[in-house]
Structure 1
């Protein structure tokens, strides 16, 4: 072993001795006249990046081999802490004024100790002297101390300290000790600007902390604010730590007595859209007809850590909504799907319908700013700013899985994460979103996750919403077969006998993170397997807005449905010195879909069959790839599993295209399992604009006959489109500028007017052959639709341009760009292709598809216009 290098540092009566051996670890001791602390082992990698001072001076410690350090677990008495916090919460909630609340929190032993007079100059007294705090801000700081999280303040007032705050406590304080050491090194080194620099950094962090505390205190007021938040964390963590089963649910055939209540869970009956196709078609038409009464809700506030999305230029972490998928962001994909449904309504009823869209954002990864800027750059997608309502969810502290302590990345800097999509109901009420929907005369809303790229396929969304509106239901789920081992919950039927002898029934869900607590097994070999009994919960919902508002406006726990603490994941964060950490922990989360638990129906006696028809909750069911396929996690190199990755979701999009087009007598190669394409990419690419339908019975009347060869590429960005007996071997891209209509100026905004000056494309008896995509290129990223091509046929339609190709073979590389107001016709000529370009005399074009209703179905008629 190489000899150690040793140094001695003296500061304010404390002596620090530290030494390094083999560049692997740093050993340091701290001692003064009062105590001698034992040696602590630190990785030098933890000191690898100390912030520069304003003078540019920088101290760097280098480590070649990072050594993991895990501090000893402290003894933590859950019971006594729970009892203390319950009493404190009760007293604070009973207080009628801020002054009363302050008096209550001042009486807490932790607050007395931390805010006592004559406290050390490095503690909370120094903080109070540094900032001009009002009474409410002071109350927030005292709450965090009363909640046992004084370490976030870096105050040194922990009861375990034996040097009166001169040095931080051993309990959970390794990082704080390191910060103190580095700070002292900086000051001992003679940097006169350090104090000014520290004050600026400290001020920003402190004000950010106050913002977080204010949001937690005010948003979680229904459970007791900051104190109630920590109490709920410890209650849930205590259940997990002591191995207690959550007795809210018991698996079927295991009736349980809970306070004179009997409860069972049953596999739910579903409305199977894949089997009853006539009902599915009718329900979808109810959804189209009811579109003027519907709203859209997008919960986009999640941090999407598993996706690992970063800006390629700045390196900044990005939210899932910004993922560039198939040529556009995921958020743009949601809007395209919505506009396709609105365009279908226009084609059937001749009226413009603009659906109000509420988007829940958060400050995680600058989520709110990124989404706002995206909407602004896209000019609000031709819908107008007034048709959007963005509301930001609060971030909540992440806690240690060990004892529920808030994880901190530095002084005043708790690690915070979004509090789960279940906060959306209370937040929507607090932010006036429900009132905004009422102003738009909306009765119900569809709720959809941004990462699910197939949710709007065919009838699923429209049928789910149509049933909810037509039958006056309060909550609907879109479900499908569950994949064993998938990170997704299940839909269940809950049956409960109440103490008064009445019975309640309702459809609800159980999150996958809670299976162990509920005694539910997951796996095909288990006798209690979920594989066939229970369908998957996909977080696609229909919700009655009045019912949701009643729940969101309640002043108790019901406004935060399905509170869970999932500590099975690692909380990754970067500390104030740029060092990456991973800590086992979680945060208090609410589950959006568990609003269903407050929408049960009561009966005077037990119901045995047919109860689902009488409930306010329901489930529609369809083939899995027509309901859910998510791009929610980054695929790891050499990983053969494509589940929940952008790559796997693309394959499901192509599988849906196969199902759609093969029904149109278009011959395509069948798509095999994901394993087949893990290394090679998809067998071919087919990307169709949703406005071609979006219902498949509409699309199938526009396309018929022909073939698409293996290795081909087809992209259709047009709604007024006809395909008749087309053979494609290579790449064909049809890109229309005006897919569903044209932008018009209205109230100083650019608004998409459906049906106005649409582009059109006809392909009849055409053979297209070219070299297409270079499938051997290692630069191809198929899920982005970013590929290298040898050759292609590309049709670009500006404005209301038209393109026709009839009775012709098109071979090799061609780009047909048609200017606004013109029609380009391609046929066979004596020396190859004959191309004619002529002006269009009418804005309506030379033809269009006429949509009519006929016996519960949509029928299309191709209308040719004379003298066009």
Structure 2
């Protein structure tokens, strides 16, 4: 036996790569060890470094070597029989675990598994010694054994592929090397370190092992506990393999005419196009539904699923270089999250103007740790002082991350030892998570019965009546779930809404609104791409993820304790998994992770009948759907524009065009001439034809906004921004840039008893009147290559800008304002612009004390049947 030696491993100075590394490989922790029983040379392929270990009487070092083979090593996909064998093994293990009474019994069951027994053997170099050296508790040990039993032991060490048989080592030998590395940490004697290693190095080495291992254990704990309804870690892997397995996929393919499907527990299944209310056609009933939504605002909450990583946006912090989540996208001068709150406050302001009462809607935000999502969202809310709503009106809850798997073999992808590639598990986890985090009880504490749900990337969801009518119908008719929908565009990454009709095995018929995700079209025989005659998706509307949900019904599903609490589980293998390893090398591989679909909670709300009745059943269902014109329902900023795409669909650029289209539609009904906006292809390289951005508090119902605008024109290439709610436009001609910005758009803040600033609606607002005014200037430099229009980062030659501080007021009447001007009005003052000898004259007067809070004029909102009528009150 060789005497004890000291070893220090040195990685290569240059990475050694013959081809893309296989997804199952990772990097062995480079730490020191003190005992080697034989003199050997290890020669093996590594994804990032190649080295050998040589032993002599005094030391072992690491040197660069020559690669033996240039042939890339690829892992072949497992045959389907292996999938089925593995599924059967894991299901049997799950059954025995579920019968165990306590944690110790569960560990005994796991110890009988061959994979666990092999890795956690009690021999001297067994992994149990590693666990002992790191002081892990019994539950951590249970989690590691679940990981190994699930066939993912490669996460705990590097899986190596040898280049030739001469230097081939079995996996067990390589594991022994890892164990001895950790054993060095245990047995290091300060008198035996020599000149090569110090005791501090050993402690640092242990920390390098312990830190990623603890992070792994946190991830495993979240998976085991959150996915307990499907069997935790092992159940997660079973479902992955079932969805990957070709034979399983075939079993999930449905014939919509007549099919016996065990998973659906029915003997007949058919889908129909749902009818629903068309808000654009039935305008009177749409107005009534919107009023129900306004009236019911004190009973409503708001839910934002922000946990997604938004990889397709490619968003990066310009200062730190760190990747950012979609919620932080700087869109039209503010983050997407700020845009959601802005829309919500506009509805609250409308409620105040009608009923004279303050209403602050509680907002629940689901975040994740992906791209520091939770920390960034929290930091933004704190920096903006919780948007003047108070911290108590927000509930942030973080969703767990789940491991990604390779598409061919179902193995967890890793970036290094103890470091699986993890991503959010889909928005569908929100119901179970909201229950476990007490979010439903929190809503009840605020007196809420229902909630609207929208995604952060959809920037037009609150346009006109869409959200208010959806909420109004849900509350009024005591529905459990509602969808806001529209026509679907071919090729868009969005699902479809359907009316399900099925005959259960007991002979009863079940009906309900639901959806099919675009990733599942192939399984259900639905073609995507250009529409074909009689195509299944030709008539079905788009699923937009805009929902009304009854909170008690949603909690019942989320707290069910079974797989129903994770609705619509899918494994989307159509998008590559892109990640960067710890050496900064980027990888893109075919894979996915289990994702739950938020809207498929609808599958739990089917109504049953004794006989078939789908033609007349929709109005009586617990689920419902409303339609509107597509640009008033969904237009997403979810992916970066690329020149190779030749399309602006679902890009920030394309969604900005829809915002402008909506504004043009709104104003054109006010006898205001607005240039025509052509198809998106026209603006792929040129940007939009003009800019019109209106604060939603001007309405948000278009019926309200249109009473504040009357006659005039906006020329091609012009820019109009109105960031003030108390606003009047009468006979204004705009040729250039006009920007009106109020510091107090909907009110001003006061400090409450808890010391927080709270926005008080209608209090000391800024105000602006424009009557018979012509604005002429050179406006935006449309030829500038620096313009990013969707960011509102544009270069201007000239502009007319009005800045209102506090309760400042601005009035311009019977005047031509030509050239570059900035009118800045201080708090407590009123500025009047009229015609003068030099073109115009300016008068600045203090506002009378009795008008400081309410202003010298304001819009009074009155209900007239199903409509809202505005009256200007001048004091």
TM over 0.5: yes
**Counterpart of 2:216 in 1: which secondary structure?**
helix
1:743 aligns with 2:749: yes
Corresponding residue for 1:316?
322
Cross-structure match for 1:854: 864
Shift of 1:315: 0.5
Q: Structure 1 residue 198: deviation in Å?
A: 3.3
Determine the structure 2 residue equivalent to 1:704: 710
Shift of 1:194: 5.9
- Which deviations, in whole Å up to 9, do the C-alpha atoms of 1:741-780 show, x marking residues without a partner? 0000102100000000111000000000001111111111
Q: Aligned to 1:244, what secondary structure does the other structure show?
A: helix
Residues 766-815 of structure 1 deviation map (CA, whole Å, 9 limit, x = unaligned): 00000111111111100000001111000000000000000000000000
Secondary structure of 2:130's aligned partner: helix
Q: Is residue 166 of structure 1 aligned with residue 173 of structure 2?
A: yes
TM-score, normalising length: structure 1: 0.89
Q: CA deviation at 1:640?
A: 2.6
- For residue 250 of structure 1, report the CA deviation from its aligned partner: 3.7
Matched, 1:571 2:577: yes
* Alignment equivalent of 2:666, drawn from 660, 666, 691: 660
Matches within 5 A, 1:60-209: 69=72, 71-73=74-76, 75=78, 77-118=82-123, 120=125, 124-154=127-157, 163=170, 165-167=172-174, 195-209=202-216
Structure 1 counterpart of 2:242, from 235, 256, 272: 235
C-alpha contact 1:766 1:808 (8 A) present in aligned 2: yes
Structure-1 separation of matches of 2:650 and 2:511: 33
In 1, Cα distance between equivalents of 2:516 and 2:431: 18
Within the candidate set 762, 766, 771, 1:755 is matched to 762
In structure 1, what is the equivalent of residue 404 of structure 2? 398
SS of the equivalent of 1:742 reads strand
1:350 to 2:360 alignment: no
Give me the CA root mean square deviation. Answer: 3.3
State the 1:47 CA deviation.
4.6
Q: Distance in 2 between matches of 1:26 and 1:623?
A: 47
* In structure 2, C-alpha distance between the alignment counterparts of 1:647 and 1:189, rounded to whole Å: 62
Alignment CA distance shift 1:62-1:307 (3 Å): farther
SS of residue in 2 equivalent to 1:203: helix
Shift of 1:201: 2.5
Query: Are residues 1:275 and 2:285 paired?
Result: no
TM-superposed deviation, 1:197 = 4.0
Check 1:638–1:523 CA distance in 2 against 1; reply closer, same or farther (3 A cut): closer
> In the superposition, relative to structure 1, how do residues 113 and 157 fare at CA in structure 2: closer, same or farther (>3 Å)?
farther
Please state how far the C-alpha of 1:99 moved relative to its aligned partner: 1.6
Match of 1:265 in 2: 271
Partner of 2:223: 216
The Cα offsets for residues 458-509 of structure 1, whole Å up to 9 and x where unpaired, read as: 0000000100000111100000000011110000010011111110000000
Q: Which residue of 2 aligns with 1:519?
A: 525
1:805 paired residue number: 812
For 1:701 and 1:60, how far apart are their aligned partners in 2?
79
Change (3 A) 1:551 1:18: closer
2:636 paired residue number: 630
Following superposition of structure 1 onto structure 2, how do residues 368-379 of structure 1 map, counting pairs within 5 Å? 368-379=374-385
CA distance in 2, matches of 1:514, 1:851: 47
* Per-residue CA distance 1:107-162 (angstroms, 9 max, x = gap): 21111111111153xx623531331111111111111111111110117799x996
Aligned CA distance change for structure 1 residues 575 and 195 (closer, same or farther; 3 Å): farther
1:70 positional shift: 5.3
CA contact (8 A) 2:532 2:538 kept: no
Corresponding residue for residue 863 of structure 1:
873
Q: 1:736 to 1:189 in 2, by over 3 A?
A: farther
Instruction: Specify every segment of 5 or more residues in structure 1 that has no aligned partner in the other structure, as ranges.
Output: 1-10, 50-57, 170-175, 181-186
The answer on whether the counterparts of 1:34 and 1:163 sit within 8 Å (CA) in structure 2 is no
Separation in 2, partners of 1:859, 1:547: 36
Task: Report how far residue 281 of structure 1 moved.
Answer: 0.7
Report the number of matched residues: 821
Q: Secondary structure at the match of 2:810?
A: strand
Q: Closer, same or farther in 2 for the Cα pair 1:648/1:189, shift >3 Å?
A: farther
Q: What is aligned with 1:487?
A: 493
* Equivalent in the alignment of 1:431: 437
1:318-360 deviation digits (Å, cap 9, x = unpaired) = 1100000000000000000000000000000000000000000
The residue aligned with 2:188 is: none
Q: CA deviation at 1:98?
A: 1.4
Structure-2-length-normalised TM-score: 0.89
Query: SS in structure 2 opposite 1:820?
Result: coil
Kept in 2, the 8 Å contact 1:156–1:166? The answer is no
Contact 2:568–2:601 (CA<8 Å) still a contact in 1?
A: yes
1:226 maps to: 233
Do the aligned residues in 2 keep the contact of 1:23 with 1:62 (CA within 8 Å)?
Answer: no
**Change beyond 3 A, Cα 1:494–1:26:** closer
SS of alignment partner, residue 860 of structure 1? strand
Q: CA deviation at 1:553?
A: 0.3
1:419 is the counterpart of 2:425:
yes
Distance 1:157 1:48 in 2: 11
1:119–1:451 distance in 2 versus 1, CA, 3 Å? farther
Q: Are the structure 2 counterparts of residues 96 and 20 from structure 1 closer, same or farther at C-alpha, using a change threshold of 3 Å?
A: closer
CA–CA separation in structure 1 for the residues paired with 2:159 and 2:786: 54
Tell me if the contact between 1:665 and 1:704 (Cα under 8 Å) persists in the aligned partners.
Answer: yes
- Write the distance in 2 (CA, Å) between the matches of 1:372 and 1:167: 44
CA contact (8 A) 1:47 1:61 kept: no
C-alpha contact 1:48 1:579 (8 A) present in aligned 2? no
1:496-535 to 2 correspondences below 5 Å: 496-535=502-541
Equivalent residue for 2:779, pick from 772, 787, 791? 772
